[in-house]
């Protein structure tokens, strides 16, 4: 199963953040779980966190409907400004099934959407579905290295 250096939860509901943080910590899929109440607070938190660790969270769960800066605005601004040394996976969290919301996510390039509330099963299913491509990428990369550079010693 995938593990992450850090995960960011963005939701204006403190109880949801508490429950989701507790759930993620119980699954032991991340060393650090950060929480913000809206997109604006999330950017301040990211600035502080990245200045200390020189890294950004590898996974962000973001609620779509929030005051101050909603999830759509956060996603747009984040994808326009975040450095891409190591891409962040963004997962939209929502209660909405409205086609305009789903269309908005598609237009922003978001491929992952989970319906609230988060659960152990939803997180594990997401991780399993998204770990296979990474495993395949690594296997293909290793195979190509061996084919292109057969005389090198490849210890993996």
DSSP line for the chain: ---EEEEEEE-S-HHHHHHHHHHHHHHT-EEEEEEESSHHHHHHHHHHHHHHHS---SEEEEESS-SSS-HHHHHHHHHHHS--SSPPEEEEEES---HHHHHHHHHTT--EEEESSP-HHHHHHHHHHHHHHHHHHHHHHHHHHHHH-TTS----
Mean pLDDT of 33-46: 95
List pLDDT tens digits, range 1-20: 567 889 999 999 999 999 99
Which residues, 6 or more positions from 136, have their beta carbon under 8 angstroms from its beta carbon? none
Higher-pLDDT residue of 155, 119: 119
Mean pLDDT lowest among 10-24, 43-57, 119-133: 119-133
Cis peptide bond upstream of 49, omega within 30: no
State pLDDT tens for residues 68-116. Answer: 999 889 999 998 887 655 668 889 898 877 778 788 888 888 888 888 9
Query: What pLDDT sits at residue 154?
Result: 46
Check if CATH label 3.40.50.1450 holds for domain 4-118: no
Largest CA distance in the chain: 58
pLDDT for 60 beyond 50: yes
Find the mean pLDDT for residues 122-146: 65
Backbone angles phi, psi at 92, to 5 degrees: -80, 135
pTM, two decimal places:
0.79
| Residue 126 pLDDT greater than 70, yes or no | yes
Of 12-16, 20-24, 53-57, 148-152, which gets the smallest average pLDDT?
148-152
Residue 133 banded pLDDT, cuts 50, 70, 90 = low
């Amino acid at each position: 199963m995938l593990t992450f250096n850090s995960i960011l939860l963005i939701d204006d509901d403190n109880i949801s953040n508490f429950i989701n943080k507790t759930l993620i910590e119980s699954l032991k899929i991340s060393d650090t779980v950060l929480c913000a109440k809206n997109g604006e607070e999330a950017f301040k938190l990211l600035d502080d966190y990245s200045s200390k660790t020189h890294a950004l969270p590898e996974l962000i769960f973001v609620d779509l409907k929030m005051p101050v800066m909603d999830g759509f605005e956060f996603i747009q601004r984040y994808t326009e400004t975040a450095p891409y040394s190591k891409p962040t996976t963004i997962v939209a969290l929502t209660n909405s099934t409205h086609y305009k919301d789903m269309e908005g996510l598609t237009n922003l390039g978001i491929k992952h959407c989970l319906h609230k509330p988060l659960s152990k099963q939803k997180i594990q299913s997401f991780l399993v579905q998204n770990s296979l491509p990474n495993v395949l990428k690594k296997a293909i990369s290793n195979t190509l290295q061996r084919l292109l550079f057969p005389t090198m010693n490849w210890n993996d």
